[in-house]
Amino acid sequence: MAKTIPAKKPAHRSSKSEGGAAKKTKKGEYSAKSISVLEGLEPVRKRPGMYIGSTGPTGLHHLIWEVVDNSFDEVMGGHATKVVIRMQPDNWIQVEDDGRGIPVDVHPEQKVSALELVLTKLHAGGKFGGDESGYKISGGLHGVGVSVVNALSTELEAKIHRDGKEWFQAYKRGVAKAKIKAVGKSKKTGSIIRFHPDPDIFETIDFDYKTVIDHLRQQTYLTAGVEVEIIDERDAENVKVYGFYFEGGVSSYVRHLNANNDVKHQNVFYINKQHEDVQVEVAVQYTTDYHDSVHCFTNNITNPDGGTHLAGFRSALTRSLNTHARDKGYLKEKDGNLSGDDTREGLTAVISVKVPEPQFEGQTKGKLGNPEARTAVEAVFGEALRVYLEEHPKDAEEIIGKCLLSARARAAARAARDTVLRKGAFEGLMLPGKLADCSSKDASIGELYIVEGDSAGGSAKQGRDRNYQAILPLRGKILNVERARLDKLLSNNEIKNLIIALGTNIGEGFEIESLRYDKIVIMTDADVDGAHIRTLLLTLFFRHFQELIRQGHIYIAMPPLYRIQVGKDARYVYTDEEKEEVIIEMTKGKGAKAAKSEASEGDDAIEAEVVETAGVKVNIQRYKGLGEMNPDQLWDTTMNPETRLMKQVTIEDAEIANETFEILMGSEVAPRKKFIQTHAKDVANLDV
């Protein structure tokens, strides 16, 4: 599910690199001469966000991915079969593989061991020298490598099994403590990297077991035949072990993605074939959903923004389905062709390509730019899909039928959308009547608050800064768009009002450049109904306005739960735990136990209560809804940029977000029941 982080601007990232290359070696040889040096390590500790994206949990876990990627490069090269990740006490991480082992001989130009180059020089590795390098396939030239992990760790230890010996070298904040040395004999090969992240760099150094499992499950699906083991040793009395091994490759991945979906055909289309220098692996299965779920990868690196391989896939999909539909008479001469949107509704697909020299747009590798990848995917997938449709006529009938139904629904949705927008035009571009717009027309400072009901709307309208804050009250709960096509969605008045207020249009006509506000703030009550409305709105934004989330425009307001007053001193608190701490602090610890006991009893019915603890009167006001706050209180606590607390909605992992929305808002009851039972214990305060 989409996660939230404290509102802040995303860190800027850089993809600049420079430098020379190592001398040539014999083709296929992997030694110190294979290592190329592109630039130094000095900037990493000063500006870590440029290299790992952020210093929050995402950047922290990126350290693991960088080390694991090196091991998977060995797997993809056919040199390793197993990768073991150990989460050790005191936030140490160890990654071990049975590959060739990082070279330890002295580099001819740099005069230090190849291992030290890899660990201390940015963009130093066996991936920059073409046929003379150590790898034919890797994550590409934009990866920052294990050197960044070294720079951002208090300590790092490297054990290398190679050339009949075990080698060891230790580092402190990126600097070698001593030269590499042989510490014993060894009959095996492989690399073991162990590191401890620097708490002075990261907001937290606590690794999340589930995050590690989810990421490595994905990587294992993309590398058929590799065995991956995750061992959580942080609690000696409760060691957790999780392992993966998938022979089916990305076809197994598609089955996993559709585990909670109603599929249109049981067979998963799958092709894995080489086209010139590009290895193409694609799996496809259709569901009854109204949205598509397509995941793109290059050399096991996720590409959330797609790229040339996605373009080739879409072109081949639309052309092949149209050709088959006409050949079999599903489409008549008078009928128009199925559009790309028609052929993608309900589609679940994984596209994985292996490219010798990948070209990505930017540091994040979000989009692939290699033109040969498009040609390869279009040729391999197009030919294989046409054969599949001929050999599986029942599957073909289900798929084409789904596409034809989508085409009819899309035509209805287009008419409904045009009606909504035309109505606005006929009314002189009038905005919804309930929208209290801001006076400024500068979208870069504008804020739209989506509030629950007229009562909260009234307080918000009076308390806001009219210059740049707009208020849109919603009546009741909007439609669950997870179970509805666009035409039905546009018949919902509350959603229509929101679309017009945003100004971006929806579906085929969506234009983020027309967004009328920089911040879209969901501001609902802190109760079950408020949480439900918030989830419905997040579902709407995730399914139909996902680019608003990706570009950081969606926020969640954090109104206080309580107002605590002792004498003239009043404070707002946001959780029950914080309430108890504030009461203790404000009463200077006197009678704190009694205050906790008395204040907690019957809280469900409290609007305002006075309790007396050791002679100190404490006034506790519980806000059941935003409408209970007067305008000044709402401004001070929730809308004033100087004092408010907001969370910015992000999509850290689109696959997990997609799966969670399907569980929570989809038609299947069993997965939702299991999800609720699993996470019920995590709910600290449920207000019903």
Residue with tokens 């399907």: 662
Asked if 272 and 339 touch (Cβ cutoff 8 Å), the reply is no
The C-alpha atoms of residue 307 and residue 305 are separated, in whole angstroms, by 6
The C-alpha atoms of residue 406 and residue 400 are separated, in whole angstroms, by 10
To the query of whether residue 454 is one of the catalytic residues in this protein, the response is: no
To the query of whether residue 452 is one of the catalytic residues in this protein, the response is: yes
Strands 519-523 and 554-557 come out as parallel
Residue with tokens 């876990």: 61
The C-alpha atoms of residue 407 and residue 412 are separated, in whole angstroms, by 9
Residue 513 DSSP one-character state: G
Structure token pair of residue 137: 């396939």
Strand, coil or helix: 94: strand
281, 525, 653, 659: the active-site residue:
525
SS3 for 299-319 is CCEECCCCEHHHHHHHHHHHH
214, 233, 529, 580: the active-site residue:
529
To the query of whether residue 525 is one of the catalytic residues in this protein, the response is: yes
383, 397, 465, 527: the active-site residue:
527
The C-alpha atoms of residue 32 and residue 129 are separated, in whole angstroms, by 12
> What are the DSSP calls for 322-373, one per residue?
HHHHHHTTSS-TTSPPPPHHHHHTTEEEEEEEE-SS--BSTTTT-SB--HHH
How far CA 579 is from CA of 528, 560, 617, 687, in Å, comes to 20, 10, 15, 15
**Residue 618: closest CA among 585, 574, 593, 583:** 583
Asked if 416 and 487 touch (Cβ cutoff 8 Å), the reply is yes
Sign of CA dihedral 591, 597, 602, 605: positive
The C-alpha atoms of residue 513 and residue 503 are separated, in whole angstroms, by 9
Helices 528-544 and 654-665, packing angle to 10 deg: 130
The C-alpha atoms of residue 181 and residue 167 are separated, in whole angstroms, by 6
Residue 606 DSSP one-character state: -
452, 487, 653, 655: the active-site residue:
452
Structure token pair of residue 110: 């740099």
Asked if 44 and 148 touch (Cβ cutoff 8 Å), the reply is yes
The C-alpha atoms of residue 274 and residue 80 are separated, in whole angstroms, by 21
> What are the DSSP calls for 534-576, one per residue?
HHHHHHHHHHH-HHHHHTT-EEEE---SEEEEETTEEEEESSH
End-to-end Cα spacing for the chain:
23
Helices 371-391 and 393-426, packing angle to 10 deg: 120
10 Å Cβ neighbour count for 489?
24
To the query of whether residue 437 is one of the catalytic residues in this protein, the response is: no
The runs of H, that is alpha helices, within 107-208 are 114-120, 146-151
The C-alpha atoms of residue 295 and residue 655 are separated, in whole angstroms, by 8
Residues recognised as catalytic: 452, 525, 527, 529
